[in-house]
């Protein structure tokens, strides 16, 4: 086994796929991967007007829940890069509604957006992956605590945690890990909070809010050689919220 070196944190020459890559955590991950040397294929249903394709960047606007569009994206990745070294399943979303008030259609949308599209994307890209590839699933702190008003979303994020463990065993030597962020304000989170007319987010034990770049830092670690013997685990990027049992100051 090669000894670790400072270069082990770099992703030079690797190909990464990031879903939900136009804003928030997905955009931070995409930009960090490029900064650390990777080529990136990113998709999102929102078009980022200030992001353009380049030699090392492929972007497509699509809804990952649409199997036809997602397959077109996978084929574009294959044609441009021929392989996938890193897959970050970041796409997802939610809305605030009590369990009894959530319609069957709304529930299905949450399941499709936060779980079904993720498993489908993994299956599509697996033929392009290899021993040593890394899958990183973005879950949430809600997977580990009660989430009134977000029950189905939280259940799907918990399912992602369970899936991560199972696939880490089944797909080895491909590594499969997860990141559970919280207290990292993003555009999508602010939109949900605005719809709730809720009070500003309380602080985690570290005493401050984080930034999407903090989740990107964890993704850089999990994607590279520094994490070569880590699989089936979840990194909590939440300022200590999980450690505190969900309590905030």
Catalytic hit among 147, 153, 160, 178: 153
Confidence category of residue 195, pLDDT binned at 50, 70, 90: low
| Token pair in block for residue 13 | 């020459």
pLDDT of 188 higher than 90? no
Q: Average per-residue pLDDT in the chain?
A: 93
- SS (HEC) of the chain: CCCCCHHHHCCCCCEEEEECCCCHHHHHHHHHHHHCCCEEEEEECCCCCCCCCECCEEEEECCCCCHHHHHHHHHHHHHHHCCCCEEEECCCCCCCCCHHHCCHHHHHHHHHHHHHHHHHHHHHHHHHCCCCCEEEEECCHHHHCCCCCCHHHHHHHHHHHHHHHHHHHHCCCCEEEEEEECCCCCHHHHHHHHHHCCCCCCCCCCCCCCCHHHHHHHHHHHHCHHHCCCCCCEEEECCCCCCCCCCCC
Q: Tell me: the pLDDT tens digits for 11-24?
A: 999 999 999 999 99
Q: Please state, for a pLDDT cut of 90, what percent of the chain lies above it.
A: 85
Q: Which residues pair with 234 in a beta bridge?
A: 178
> What's 224's DSSP letter?
S
**What whole-number distance in Å separates Cα of residue 218 and Cα of residue 42?**
18
Output the pLDDT for position 43: 97
Q: Tell me: the pLDDT tens digits for 106-126?
A: 999 999 999 999 999 999 999
The yes-or-no answer on residue 153 being catalytic is yes
Q: Tell me: the pLDDT tens digits for 61-115?
A: 999 999 999 999 999 999 999 999 999 999 999 999 999 999 999 999 999 999 9
Q: Tell me: the pLDDT tens digits for 26-62?
A: 999 999 999 999 999 999 999 887 777 788 999 999 9
Q: Please state, for a pLDDT cut of 70, what percent of the chain lies above it.
A: 94
Output the pLDDT for position 123: 98
Output the pLDDT for position 114: 98
Pick the CATH number of 10-237 from 3.40.50.720, 3.40.50.300, 3.40.5.10, 3.40.50.2300: 3.40.50.720
**Structure pTM?**
0.94
Output the pLDDT for position 154: 98
């Amino acid at each position: 086994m090669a000894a670790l070196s400072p270069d082990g944190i770099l992703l030079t020459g690797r190909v990464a796929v990031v879903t939900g890559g136009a804003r928030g955590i997905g955009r931070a991950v995409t930009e960090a991967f490029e900064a650390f040397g990777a080529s990136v294929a990113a998709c999102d249903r929102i078009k980022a007007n200030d992001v353009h394709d380049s030699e090392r960047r492929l972007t497509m606007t699509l809804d990952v829940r649409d199997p036809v569009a997602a397959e077109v994206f996978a084929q574009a990745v294959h044609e441009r890069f021929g392989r996938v070294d890193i897959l970050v399943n970041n796409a997802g979303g939610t809305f605030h509604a009590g369990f009894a008030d959530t319609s069957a259609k709304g529930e299905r949308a949450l399941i499709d957006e936060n779980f079904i599209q993720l498993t489908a994307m993994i299956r599509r890209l697996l033929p392009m992956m290899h021993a040593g590839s890394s899958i990183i699933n973005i879950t949430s702190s809600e997977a580990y605590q009660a989430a009134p008003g977000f029950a189905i979303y939280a259940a799907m994020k918990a399912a992602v945690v369970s899936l991560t463990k199972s696939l880490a065993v089944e797909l080895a030597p491909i590594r499969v890990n997860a990141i559970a962020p919280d207290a990292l304000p993003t555009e999508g989170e602010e939109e949900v909070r605005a719809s709730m007319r809720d009070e500003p987010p309380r602080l985690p034990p570290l005493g401050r809010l984080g930034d999407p770049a903090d989740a990107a830092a964890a993704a850089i670690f999990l994607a590279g050689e520094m994490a070569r013997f880590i699989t089936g685990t979840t990194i909590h990027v939440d300022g200590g919220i999980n450690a505190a049992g969900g309590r905030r100051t």
